[in-house]
Chain A
Amino acid sequence: MMKMTDPALLRSVSKPGRYAGGEFGQTVKDPASVDASFAFCFPDSYEIGMSNLGVRILYGVLNREENIRCERVFAPWTDMEDRMREKGILLCAHESGEPVKDFDFLGFTLQYEMCYTNVLNVLELSGIPLRASERDDSWPIVIGGGPCSYNPEPVADFFDLFNIGEGEEMLPEIVRLYIRMKKEGATKAEFLHEAAKTIEGVYVPSLYDVSYNPDGTVAAYEPVFDDIPRRVRKRIVADLDTMYFPESVVVPYIECVQDRIMLEVFRGCIRGCRFCQAGMIYRPVREKSPETLMKQAKTLYQNTGYEEISLSSLSISDYTRLRELTDGLIGWTEDKRVSLSLPSLRIDSFSKELMDRVASVRSSSITFAPEAGTQRLRDVINKNVTEEDLMRSAGIAFGSGKEQIKLYFMNGLPTETEADLDGIADLANRVVDEFYRTPGHGKRAPLVTVSVSCFVPKPFTPFQWEAQDTVGRLIEKNRYLAGKITNRKVRYTHHDACVSHVEAVLALGDRRLSRALELARRRGFRFDAWDEFFSYDRWMEVFADSGIDTAFYANRARGEDEVLPWEIIDCGVTREFLLREKHRAYSGKTTPSCREQCSGCGAVCLGGKDICCPKMK
């Protein structure tokens, strides 16, 4: 049978380099020399998947184990998929070209909800039955992880097991247990039970029965065994300095979205913006030391040859030893002609010094995220930045020659009124004014881009109980804002409200959504994270035909005593804290960052070294 790497096949598709393999730094192992094989899938294109730091880390973590073989799998692009279906070619792993279905494990990293149809498509293209209940012991064990697994319920029926939290330690533990039990002749069911019982962070959906109330809300989760946890607590890695870090990574030949060294400076975020899931689920903050980071940067540079290093963390300017780190890095990077970039600068900690030192000179544009147009709403969402902060940062940027500023906002936030939308337009105008007020501004006219996304309530945030605005309302708001932005130096772009609606349904859903996802797959859905493939009308048809009322999931305010589907997971942050935060939001009260004062979110119970939480008594 033809394989995915067949030259005749590769000649017939776009960007064949996606499938060619042979990159520097890949790990190729002899199947006969290992006890377990793990196909690690990023369910999107090669260029997106190879840009993910988590994939790079976990690939290394697994391959570091002598008796485990981990290979990469990506979603084939649509032209390749069409050819594969036409010729009956099975999806293969990247390194060996071996069919995915012959691996012991198939792991998916779930980075965004809109990739769920790709997950099912990857299963189908591999010839693997979609539902866990349809797979006997001969099929790979299908594992999920990543941010979306904090509400695994909408895809729970397709997975045998989820690892909740950070995988560096948990994933090898799971595979090691599997190897041991396989040798003892255990069945898959026995293995899953044992994993759920003994490995913290393991969630086996089939071992929990869900019951529903007459109104459609969840009544309860009931474990089917007494010896497994009633709620699955997320795993974290306590010490980032001693944590495994890949000293060499695969260096793709074809251009990827993130094609550089990514240095993870810390995990978590001290801020607690109330809409932000990442700010809650990655708590508590744990930092790496500059010494460790310098060492890792140098090693990675030598082993990959990358000419760019990006410091990657949620809110990089909150790193307590940023000065030390940039001082150390800059001398070295200049000498090596390596460029250093910082993503996601927070307005309140943005300084001229920081920009002069690291912002790449080449880019003429810089991005800030005030998120809301008025101070009132910024207080509601706990985005603790002021207009002065923004103007000061904009002034610094303009003063050092930048002419373009991009501003991120959200619409549809809880308590939002027209005044808040007006505020977005006003703020953009004032940033334009700031340009002309700044001495030494650039010669060309400034351009301020206002980019507005729609608020999607996310699990484990203080806004998890909120109703999302309806699509009609969101579109209305987008139009209203478009009418308000009349300044020719301000450009307005907004996200598709329809995508945000589907995203909300998939983010806030329960197990009953699997019906819809299955139907979507049967109707050929794929690459829904890509605008060119997303069709709102077809999604609505799928939901209707599978008996799913999308408003129930997306546009309904949840009761404060309602059992939420994702509460089978314990992410450290307590429900009491989230509720407290919700109430503070409604009274317009901000909450200090973890560094200023602990707000007792509960995450301290997860432990960790060098965390900012007060020590437990």
Chain B
Amino acid sequence: MLPENEMINEHDGEYPSLPEPRTVRLRFEKTGSLQFISHLDLQRSAARILTRAGIPLWYTKGFNPHPKLVFAMPLPIGCESVCELADVRIDRDMDCGRILDGLHRGSSGGLRFTECYIPERPFRDIAWARYGIRIAPGELMSPAGFAEKAAAVMSEKPLTVIKHGKSGDRLTDISGMMKDIKISCEGEETLIDLFMSATEGSTLSPAHLLGALTSRLGVPGPDTGYSAMRVCMTDAEGIIFR
């Protein structure tokens, strides 16, 4: 039996060089166990993934050349996503279809590349990210009971949480950073579907909300099963960002 991924061929020279580097946007999913790989580790690994994929990376000039790679928005550890975006610069004319093929071979497990295209909008247009959060309150509460209490907490104004930042912990009011909240129940689980602010400098993560719920309701507790999934990102007008 072969290893999971077969050998990758070198494509060098196959593609004509470009007069100017070209930026392509990659869309990818990060799910399953890969949710426990931090954004920093993914950033470190990204160049390796792209190299394995045989993508003709453009390198910065100067003393310590490195490829140019920009992620739309860091994904917090412990959160899955089906809508991650990253821009990468290439210096040869490899078309998007082949880039995607290469990426399929060069990635594994819960990291799956789904699209490659020429970007039309800059990442700074991203304003909101939509999340689906599933919590199984277990013995602590019924899903419906938790749904009701969670709804009450989430409509508090102000709703202050502790945010850990570079300059220490600070109290932040997150009530204005959430919108379109829908709470429902499914079997043993409570589902929270909502948009969270994703503008630079005022980004909310599911962990903040879950922290607020834990501190007020005791759920999710340390052993509570839950999952969080980033579903899509939109601009300020609510149009899907791609």
Q: Contacts A7-B225, A25-B4, A337-B59 known; A20 to B44 CB distance under 8 Å? A: no
Q: Contacts A12-B222, A247-B7, A248-B5 known; A306 to B41 CB distance under 8 Å? A: no
Contact check: which of B1, B32, B109, B224 meets A27 at CB < 8 Å? B1
Q: Which residues of B contact A16 (CB under 8 A)?
A: 36, 77-78
The residue of chain B having its C-beta at the shortest distance from the C-beta of A6 within the complex is B225
Residues of chain A in range 1-56 having any CB-CB distance to chain B below 8 Å: 5, 7-8, 10-12, 16-17, 19-29, 33
Is there a chain B Cβ closer than 8 Å to A63's Cβ? Answer: yes
Nearest Cβ in chain A — how far from B45, in angstroms? 5
Is there a chain B Cβ closer than 8 Å to A327's Cβ? Answer: no
B41 touches A24 (CB 8 A): no
Q: Which residues of A contact B41 (CB under 8 A)?
A: 17, 253-255
Spot the interface stretch: B46-54, B92-100, B230-238: B46-54
Q: Contacts A17-B36, A251-B45, A253-B45 known; A303 to B7 CB distance under 8 Å? A: yes
- The CA-CA distance from A20 to B80 in the complex, in Å, is 13
For the complex, would chain A's binding face be called helix, strand, loop or mixed by DSSP majority?
A: loop
Nearest Cβ in chain A — how far from B78, in angstroms? 5
Is there a chain B Cβ closer than 8 Å to A362's Cβ? Answer: yes
Residues of chain A in range 334-364 having any CB-CB distance to chain B below 8 Å: 337, 361-362
- The CA-CA distance from A361 to B65 in the complex, in Å, is 12
A304 touches B33 (CB 8 A): no
Nearest Cβ in chain B — how far from A104, in angstroms? 18
Q: Contacts A20-B34, A302-B7, A305-B50 known; A255 to B224 CB distance under 8 Å? A: no
Q: Which residues of A contact B3 (CB under 8 A)?
A: 25-27, 63, 248
A25 touches B108 (CB 8 A): yes
B5 touches A66 (CB 8 A): no
Is there a chain B Cβ closer than 8 Å to A299's Cβ? Answer: yes
Q: Which residues of A contact B108 (CB under 8 A)?
A: 22-26
Is there a chain B Cβ closer than 8 Å to A576's Cβ? Answer: no
Q: Which residues of A contact B36 (CB under 8 A)?
A: 10, 16-17, 19-20
The residue of chain B having its C-beta at the shortest distance from the C-beta of A29 within the complex is B1
Q: Which residues of A contact B227 (CB under 8 A)?
A: 7
The residue of chain A having its C-beta at the shortest distance from the C-beta of B77 within the complex is A16
Nearest Cβ in chain A — how far from B136, in angstroms? 10
Scan A296-319; emit 1 where CB is below 8 A from any B CB, else 0: 001101111111000000000000
B109 touches A306 (CB 8 A): no
- The CA-CA distance from A362 to B47 in the complex, in Å, is 19
Scan B50-79; emit 1 where CB is below 8 A from any A CB, else 0: 111010000100011100000000000110
Q: Which residues of A contact B140 (CB under 8 A)?
A: none
B48 touches A337 (CB 8 A): no
- The CA-CA distance from A24 to B111 in the complex, in Å, is 10
Residue in B4, B34, B48, B65 with the greatest tally of chain A CB atoms within 10 Å: B4
A305 touches B4 (CB 8 A): no
Q: Contacts A21-B109, A22-B108, A362-B64 known; A253 to B47 CB distance under 8 Å? A: no
Interface extent on A, as a size class?
A: 35 or more
Residues of chain B in range 83-123 having any CB-CB distance to chain A below 8 Å: 106-111
Is there a chain A Cβ closer than 8 Å to B167's Cβ? Answer: no
B65 touches A337 (CB 8 A): yes
- The CA-CA distance from A434 to B45 in the complex, in Å, is 41
A305 touches B106 (CB 8 A): yes
- The CA-CA distance from A612 to B223 in the complex, in Å, is 61
Q: Contacts A303-B7, A307-B51 known; A5 to B33 CB distance under 8 Å? A: yes
- The CA-CA distance from A66 to B1 in the complex, in Å, is 6
- The CA-CA distance from A16 to B76 in the complex, in Å, is 13
Q: Which residues of A contact B47 (CB under 8 A)?
A: 305, 307
Residue in B32, B51, B65, B77 with the greatest tally of chain A CB atoms within 10 Å: B51
Nearest Cβ in chain A — how far from B153, in angstroms? 21
Q: Which residues of A contact B50 (CB under 8 A)?
A: 305
Q: Contacts A302-B52, A305-B49 known; A24 to B59 CB distance under 8 Å? A: no
Is there a chain A Cβ closer than 8 Å to B162's Cβ? Answer: no
Nearest Cβ in chain B — how far from A401, in angstroms? 13
- The CA-CA distance from A17 to B44 in the complex, in Å, is 14
Q: Which residues of A contact B64 (CB under 8 A)?
A: 362
Q: Which residues of A contact B65 (CB under 8 A)?
A: 337
Residues of chain B in range 1-15 having any CB-CB distance to chain A below 8 Å: 1, 3-5, 7-10
Q: Which residues of A contact B181 (CB under 8 A)?
A: none
- The CA-CA distance from A28 to B109 in the complex, in Å, is 11
Is there a chain A Cβ closer than 8 Å to B154's Cβ? Answer: no
The residue of chain B having its C-beta at the shortest distance from the C-beta of A34 within the complex is B1
- The CA-CA distance from A12 to B223 in the complex, in Å, is 8
The residue of chain B having its C-beta at the shortest distance from the C-beta of A249 within the complex is B3
Nearest Cβ in chain B — how far from A65, in angstroms? 9
A22 touches B1 (CB 8 A): no
Scan A575-614; emit 1 where CB is below 8 A from any B CB, else 0: 0000000000000000000000000000000000000000
The residue of chain A having its C-beta at the shortest distance from the C-beta of B31 within the complex is A22
- The CA-CA distance from A8 to B38 in the complex, in Å, is 16
- The CA-CA distance from A5 to B35 in the complex, in Å, is 12
Sorted from nearest, which 3 A-B pairs have the closest CB atoms?
A: A22-B109, A305-B48, A305-B51
21 contacts between A and B (CB under 8 A): A7-B227, A8-B222, A11-B78, A16-B78, A17-B41, A22-B109, A22-B110, A24-B49, A24-B108, A25-B5, A27-B3, A63-B3, A251-B48, A253-B37, A302-B7, A302-B54, A303-B5, A303-B8, A305-B47, A305-B50, A306-B48
